[in-house]
Amino acid sequence: MTSLVVGSAIGPSLLALFKDTFGSYQSGLYACSLMIPIAIGLTLLARE
């Protein structure tokens, strides 16, 4: 549940930053897409 709240707060701000910097949401969406496999990989490497 916490990850949903954090993602909802960071996502729009991150995309707005990319739009202001690069003039398009496209690069921000690519960056967010790359974060998914990284997060999955880190999750698989985490120890209990």
pLDDT digits (tens, 9 = 90+) for 1-48: 787 888 788 888 989 999 999 999 999 999 889 988 998 999 999 887
Task: State the pLDDT at residue 22.
Answer: 94
Task: State the pLDDT at residue 6.
Answer: 84
**Cβ atoms of residues 15 and 29 within 8 Å:** yes
14 CB burial (10 A radius; 0-12, 13-18, 19+): middle
CA 34/CA 25 separation, integer angstroms: 14
**Count of domains observed in the chain:** 1
Task: State the pLDDT at residue 17.
Answer: 94
Task: State the pLDDT at residue 30.
Answer: 93
Q: Which domain holds residue 30?
A: 2-45
